Structure formats: C-alpha cells, structure tokens
Amino acid sequence: MTEPILRLENVRKTFPGVIANDQVYLDIRVGEIHALLGENGAGKSTLMNCLYGVYRPDGGKIFWKGKEVDIYQARDAIALGIGMVHQHFKLVPPLTVTENVVLGLPSKREPFLDVKTLDKEIGEIAKRYGFDIDPTAQIWQLPVGVQQRVEILKALYRKAELLILDEPTAVLTPQEVEELFSVLKNLTKMGLSIIFITHKLEEVMAVCDRVTVLRLGKVIDTVNTSDTSTRELAKMMVGREVFMTVNKPELVPGEVVLKLNAVSALDNRGLKAVNDISLEVRRNEILGIAGVDGNGQTELAEVVTGLRPATGGKVEILGKEATNRSPLEIMEMGVAYIPPDRQHTGLLMDFSITENLIGKSYYEEPISKKGVFQKDAVNTFTEKAIKDYDVRTPGPELKAKSLSGGNQQKVVLARELSSNPDLLVAAQPVRGLDVGATEYVHDRMVEARSKGAAILLISTELEEILSLSDRIAVMFEGKIMGILPGKNADIHEIGAMMAGVHQTESGTVVREAEKPL
C-alpha cells in the first residue's frame, strides 16, 4: 500500500479543564474522501485546527507524506499543501473573487498587484476545475454555494493536495449539496485527498470512501463506508442506540392560533426580508418553515413575536390584532419564543439560572410583589423548573454560561413552556445540540403540541423539519414558495422550492425567472 498523505499518531489537545482530543490516530490515503464524523463537541474542529496550525497539539505526531512535521501556523499548513474550507467562510465580502484567492500571496510583479492578469488567470483555473465563477464579482454578491467554491479555489490556487472541509453542507440547499458532491468526486479523480467533517450520516454514506468516528475527543473506529450503515455509524457516534424518528401522536388541528395576512418586514440593512407572507398555524399543529439560512425566516419569527416591526400586512393571534404590538403584549397574548441563538438572545449568559428562568414572569405575582422579589416563590419556581425540565446543574445560582448547550436550551424551554403557551415560535431550537439534547427538545415540542399549542418551527435542518412538521412551508428570499403536507413530503420538491422554484396547483414545479446577481 502506498504511503498515506497524512497520518496522525496519538494526537492530544487539552484546554483548561477539557480534553478536546486524546489518542487520535488517523490516516488519509491519496485520492480518498475521508469523513470525520462526530457530534458537536466531539473534537472534530479542534483536531482539524491542530492540523491547520490554529492550535498546537499537546502531544502526538503528525506525518505528512511519511515525514514528521510541525505545524505552527496556518502558513506552515498551506506550505505543506493543506487547504481548509472553514464552516464559516474566511472570505472578505467587499473584495473580489480574485482578490480573495490571491490574498496573502506574493504577486509575480511584487509589490504590485496586476488585477487584470490575475482575473484572467483565476478565471482559467476555475474553468479547469469546472467551476462557473466570475473572478471580478465581489464575494457578497455571490450565492453561498459559489462562495464555497471560491474557498475551494483559494485552496487549489495555493496548490493544496489535501482539502479539509468543515461541515461544508450546513449552509447549502439539497441541490447545492449534490453539486458539491460531484465537485469533490471530480477533485479526487485529479488526485486530491479530502477530509470531510460532518455530523450528518447520510452525507458520509453518499460521498465518502472511509469514515473515522470521533466521540468525546477519541477515535472510536475507522471503517469503509461500504462496510457499514447509518445505523451502525449513529451508534458509534452517540455511543448508544439512536431512534431517529420522533414519536408524534396523530392529532386533528384545532382553532387557528396564528394568522398572518400579507405580512412584510425589512432586515437590519433595510432590505425587504419578509415579503407578503400569509399563513395559519392551528392548535395541535406544527408548521415547519424550511429554507436556507438567511431567507427571512429569522425576521419572520421576530415579526410574529413583536421584536421587529411589520412594514405591511396583519398578524392575528387567537383572532386578536397583534400587528406591531410590543413583545410584552404579544407574550401576554400567550406566545412563547425560542430564539435562534441561545447564547446571545436566548439567555443572559452572565446571569444565574434562576434569573434566566424567571426572565418572563419576574414582574408578576407570586414571583414579585410591588416590584420586590419574593424569595420563597422564586425558589419554588426555579426548583420545579429545574426538576421538570431536567436541567443538569449543581445549583440554580450558577451562571447560564457554565451550562452545556443542551442544558442551556433546557433553561430556555423551561422559561418559555412552563406557562403552557398557545403559540410557540421555535427558531433553530436544536442548533448546536447533541443527539440526546435534540431528542429531548423535540419531545418537549411534541408534548406542547399535544397540550394544544400551535407551533411555528423554523429550521434550516431539513431532517428536523421533516420529522416534526404536520405541514411544511418553504421560504425563499422572503416569500413562501409553497406549503406541503408533512407526511411523505418529497425532499426533492422541498429542495427545489428552497432554491427558488414555485409550487404550482398541480404539484409540479416551475422555475422562477433567474434573478441577476
């Protein structure tokens, strides 16, 4: 067998109080796509950052083409031929494709930058790899899928032989994912080796040759994808049997709780983010909003909860006018909200668990009387919430930031659901949570549905939408492209709508006129 292009031997990396990686063995063969599979916090990113010179491993050896190497900084990794495509792209939005690709490299006429010649050169290289990219376009003008290809191009331009892709599908539509897969397969034919970091089992099976599973910072096993199954991989990843379906009782939707009529709103830049949206959510029903991140879902959730003004249309909650009411008024109408970002908007990280738990009821009796907290009532309330929602904490006085992601989200759930809301707006409720915590959050949402809540679920994870929703609405550039029944929904139809294709009466789809970039 030929020498692997990269070999890790007993790599170890610790942070104060945490062992991020321990006894990691990994070998990457030339021309393979090798999945690095693990849950959030399993140590995948830390490991790759060690490889890319962002962190220094505390122990172990790294071999590149058989020779032991030390990687002190990104520059060293690049010089060896390691290219990294980060989950959050490292592209400079106002710069052009060419400028981003050549950034940091000396030019042929140093110190001068001959933009025109470079544009031509980059254009030719892009074409050689089959990328359709305009080198003079500025990054912010490009769709996410194309931006990702710019990142790949950037690595290839630096003569990368090993490409590390960190959760590359997180921001893509199903169609873009398929395009990415064909690009990757094409690249391996040209001799490139690829490390594919993911927590999605289907992707591992679809595109990878071998897979290394990480759990709690350690390598569980490396197997050929042809010799394994998603079920087996899931077991390795989580450490126990996983049931990937949510148990959801059949219920008949009741009265209309949320009614949107031609609602529009602007985003933070003043551009139209929510465009003429009409929909209804009923009791005992989960309406899932699918869509690629940044298509107005967050803004829609904020309009419903009163955090963002509607510029047009009408919001009704249980038949009462709720358009542009204050968040407090809307909350008192029976609306609960799980914000998409629990660290910034979901919780006050420097406040205690108690203070976070009473965040919605702090001004009411019995929690406070005439503006003064009632210690006994507060304690009773928090103790019950911590018990009911299984928040794993040594005590209620701990700061929210000291909890794990799953337990933080349990605090949010306890605060929002303990009042038995009529409407729950859940935006990315399981973002960044591990499988166990995800199960818990989903079970709680299904329970709220059974109790009679109407739920507006916003998620960019199609899996989540499909497993929970009674009906699915797809959002694209601020508009609803269509609403489908959740049962037996066609993933390809949803994918097409996520990319901007309208649903028609007959159920077939027509492509919206191509918009200029």
Partner 1 sequence: MFEGFSSIILNIDFYAAIVRMSTPLLLGAIGSLMAERAGIVTFSMESMMLMGTVGGIIGSGLMNNAWAGVGLAIIFGVLIGLIYGIWAVSIGSHQIVTSVGLNLGSLGITSILYALTFMKGGEVVEEIIKVPTLPITKIPLLGDIPFIGPVFFNHYPLVYVGYLLVPMVWYILYKTTWGLKVRAVGEHPHAADTVGISVIKVRYQTLILSGAFSGLAGAFLSICMLGSFQENMTAGRGFIAYTAIVFGKWQPIGVALGTLLFGAADALQLRIQAMNENIPYQFLIMLPYVVTMIALISVVGRASWPAASGLPFKREEG
Binding site for partner 1 (CB under 8 A): 45, 49, 52, 54-55, 73-75, 78, 84, 86, 89-95, 99-100, 102-107, 110-113, 115, 154, 158
Distance CA 384, CA 124 (A): 65
Nearer to partner 1, 25 or 89 (CB): 89
β-bridge partners, 503: 509
E strand segments, 1-75: 6-15, 18-28, 33-37, 59-64, 67-69
Q: Which helix (H) or strand (E) holds 288?
A: strand 285-290
Distance CA 351, CA 344 (A): 12
Residue with token string 């933009």: 115
Min separation Cβ 16 and partner 1, Å: 12
Nearer to partner 1, 115 or 242 (CB): 115
Nearer to partner 1, 49 or 225 (CB): 49
Q: What is the DSSP letter of 433?
A: -
What are the φ and ψ backbone dihedral angles of 178, each rounded to 5 degrees? -65, -40
Nearer to partner 1, 151 or 161 (CB): 151
Residue with token string 């990687």: 71
Distance CA 230, CA 167 (A): 18
Min separation Cβ 101 and partner 1, Å: 10
Nearer to partner 1, 45 or 503 (CB): 45
Min separation Cβ 74 and partner 1, Å: 5
Min separation Cβ 73 and partner 1, Å: 7
How far, CA to CA in Å, does 162 sit from each of 86, 106, 198? 14, 22, 17
Min separation Cβ 186 and partner 1, Å: 24
Amino acid 470 reads D
The angle formed by the CA atoms of residues 482, 426 and 240, to the nearest 5 degrees, is 105
Min separation Cβ 102 and partner 1, Å: 7
Nearer to partner 1, 94 or 371 (CB): 94
Measured from the Cβ of residue 93, the count of other Cβ atoms closer than 10 Å reads 12
**Burial of 200 (C-beta count, 10 Å sphere; 0-12/13-18/19+):** middle
Nearer to partner 1, 90 or 392 (CB): 90
Min separation Cβ 268 and partner 1, Å: 12
Min separation Cβ 266 and partner 1, Å: 14
Min separation Cβ 275 and partner 1, Å: 23
Here the tokens at position 460 are 């960019």
Min separation Cβ 55 and partner 1, Å: 7
| Residue closest to 183 by CA, chosen among 212, 141, 209, 152 | 152
Per DSSP, the three-state class of 440 is: helix
What are the φ and ψ backbone dihedral angles of 331, each rounded to 5 degrees? -60, -40
The alpha helices in 307-461, defined as continuous H runs, are 327-332, 353-357, 375-388, 405-417, 435-450
Nearer to partner 1, 115 or 223 (CB): 115
Nearer to partner 1, 159 or 384 (CB): 159
Distance CA 348, CA 146 (A): 36
Amino acid 308 reads R
Nearer to partner 1, 111 or 249 (CB): 111
Of the chain, the end-to-end C-alpha distance in Å amounts to 48
Min separation Cβ 35 and partner 1, Å: 21
Nearer to partner 1, 59 or 104 (CB): 104
Q: What is the separation of C-alpha 176 from the centre of its chain, rounded to a whole number of angstroms?
A: 16
